Structure 1
Amino acid sequence: MWRTGTVPGVSRSSQSAAGPVTADDLDLAVRLSVDALGRAPDAGWDGNAGSLEWTCWETVEHLADDLFAYAVQLGPRRPPLTGEVPFVWESRRTGGPANAVHADRAAGPAGLLQVLETCGALLVAMVRTTPPDVRAYHGFGVSDPEGFAAMGLVETLVHTHDLAAGLGLAWTPPADLCARALARLFPDVPAGTGPWPTLLWATGRAGLPGRHRLETWRWDGTPRR
C-alpha cells in the first residue's frame, strides 16, 4: 500500500551484508504467503485485515494487484518513466482499494489465493527476464527490476501481516528477506533492531523501542547502483 511521508530521525544503516533483492526472494515470499493464507478458515475473509479499512478479501486482491502493476510497468519495450501503464484501476465500493485485478467470488478463498500466486509469478518472471539497466516509473521513484522485486517483496510481507492479524494466523517471515527489503527500499532505518520488527515500523505497522508507530511513510525505489 503506498503512503506518502518520510521516515524521520533515523541514521543510515549498513547495507553491505544484506545483498540485492532477487526474483527468488520474491518467489519465496509469495509462496510462504499463499501457504500461510491457505490455512485460514473459509469464514473471516469479509472481516478487516488488521488495522486496514479493507476486508481480508479486498486486501488479497490489492496485494495481487500490486504485484500485477509492478510486473506490467516492466513489460513495454520502452517502459514508462512518467506514469503508469494505463490500465483502469477502480474500486468496487466506497473506501475499497482501486484495483485492475479482482478475483471471482464464486471461486472462493482457494481461487483468490490462486489469483495472488499468479500475479506473483508474473512479477517474478518479469524481474528474472528484464535487463538490470531497464528503468520504469513508480510514484516513489523511477526504479529498476530489483527495485520492483523489492517493492513486491515488501507488499507481500506486510500485507500478509495485515491479513494474518485479521484471519487469526501466525506470520513471521524469514529475517534475511526482511533485511534485503530494508536495505533496498529503506536504507535509513534504525540500526540494532531485528529486520522484521524494523520493517513493520518502517511501513507504519508497529512501533519500536523508543520510537512511535509512524503515521506517514514511504520507501525510496531509486536504483542503488
Structure 2
Amino acid sequence: MSRSADAGHSRPPVTADDLDGAVQRAVELLCEAPATAWEGKAGSLEWDCWETVEHLSDDLFAYAAQLGPRTPPLDGEVPFLWESRRPGGPANAIHADREAGPDGLLQVLEASGALLVAMVRTTPPETRAHHGFGASDAEGFAAMGIVETLVHTYDLAQGLGLVWRPPADLCSRVLARLFPDAPSATDSWPTLLWATGRAELPGRPRLTTWRWDGRPRADDGT
C-alpha cells in the first residue's frame, strides 16, 4: 500500500484508537513468545528482549507524562529519574518486576500504553508539549507511541522468533504525520522500517541516522 492517497490536506488523523489497537496487537503477539526467549537480543538492538519491552513501556509512559501537567513543558522533559540497570542498557523510569515473569512484563507494557491512550483522548488539540524531535500535540504523541510500538515489536519479533506485520493503513497514517518526506509510492510498512533505520528500500540504502518531525503539520491548520 502506497501513501500517495494520504498526502496533502486530506491526511487522515492518527487517533487514540489507533494507538490502543497497536499496543493491543503487540501484546497479543508477544504473549506467544516462549518464556525462555526473553534474554536474547531484540533484532539489531543492543538490548535483550526484556529490556526492549521495558524501553517501549517507558516511551509510552514518558509521552503520557509530557501531556500530563496542566501546562505541559515546552523546554524539556517532565523530570522523572531515568536510569539504566546495567552499562549499555536502556535508561528508563519504568522497570518491570522480573519475578512477575513475561506476563507481568506485558502487563507493564499494556498499562503504559493505556496511560498514553487516555492522555491522547483527553488532551485538548491546541495543547503542545516538548519532544526532542519537535514540540507536539496529542495526535503527534499518539503517532510517536505507535511508531515506537510498531518498530520495537519488529525488533522483538526478530529476537523472539515471531512474525509481525502491522496494518498498512496504520503505517501510512503515522508516516504522513511524522515522516512527511518519506517515499510515498512504496509499501507503507517497509517504508516505516526504512524511515526508522531498520531496512533498505529499492534504491535507498538503510539509514544510519534518522528522526521524525513531531511538529503539527502546517497543512492541518494547527
TM-score by length of 1: 0.93
Give the drift of 1:16: 4.8
User: Structure 1: which 5+ residue stretches go unaligned?
Assistant: 1-12
More helix by share: 2
1:162 aligns with 2:155: yes
Three-state SS of the structure 2 residue aligned to 1:154 is helix
- Looking at structure 2, the residues matched to 22 and 191 of structure 1 have their Cα atoms a distance apart, in angstroms, of 21
The corresponding residue for 1:23 is 16
> Are the counterparts in 2 of residues 202 and 217 from structure 1 also a CA contact under 8 Å?
yes
> Are the counterparts in 2 of residues 15 and 187 from structure 1 also a CA contact under 8 Å?
no
- Looking at structure 1, the residues matched to 71 and 134 of structure 2 have their Cα atoms a distance apart, in angstroms, of 17
- Looking at structure 1, the residues matched to 108 and 34 of structure 2 have their Cα atoms a distance apart, in angstroms, of 18
- Looking at structure 2, the residues matched to 65 and 166 of structure 1 have their Cα atoms a distance apart, in angstroms, of 20
Give the drift of 1:18: 4.5
Give the drift of 1:191: 2.2
Q: Which amino acid aligns with 1:184?
A: R
Query: Equivalent of 2:78, from 64, 85, 101?
Result: 85
The corresponding residue for 2:96 is 103
TM-score by length of 2: 0.94
Give the drift of 1:44: 1.2
Identity of counterpart residues, as a percentage? 75
Query: Equivalent of 1:218, from 195, 208, 211?
Result: 211
Task: Identify if the C-alpha distance between structure 1 residues 145 and 110 changes in structure 2 by more than 3 Å, giving closer, same or farther.
Answer: same
Q: Which amino acid aligns with 1:109?
A: P
Superposed CA RMSD: 0.9
Q: For 1:176-187, list aligned pairs within 5 A.
A: 176-187=169-180
The corresponding residue for 2:165 is 172
The corresponding residue for 1:5 is none
Task: Identify if the C-alpha distance between structure 1 residues 32 and 17 changes in structure 2 by more than 3 Å, giving closer, same or farther.
Answer: farther
- Looking at structure 2, the residues matched to 18 and 55 of structure 1 have their Cα atoms a distance apart, in angstroms, of 36
> Are the counterparts in 2 of residues 46 and 56 from structure 1 also a CA contact under 8 Å?
yes
The corresponding residue for 1:189 is 182
1:37 aligns with 2:30: yes
- Looking at structure 2, the residues matched to 16 and 104 of structure 1 have their Cα atoms a distance apart, in angstroms, of 46
> Are the counterparts in 2 of residues 141 and 222 from structure 1 also a CA contact under 8 Å?
yes
Task: Identify if the C-alpha distance between structure 1 residues 25 and 198 changes in structure 2 by more than 3 Å, giving closer, same or farther.
Answer: same
The corresponding residue for 2:65 is 72
Task: Identify if the C-alpha distance between structure 1 residues 16 and 41 changes in structure 2 by more than 3 Å, giving closer, same or farther.
Answer: farther
User: Structure 2: which 5+ residue stretches go unaligned?
Assistant: 1-5
- Looking at structure 2, the residues matched to 180 and 57 of structure 1 have their Cα atoms a distance apart, in angstroms, of 29
Aligned residue pair count: 213
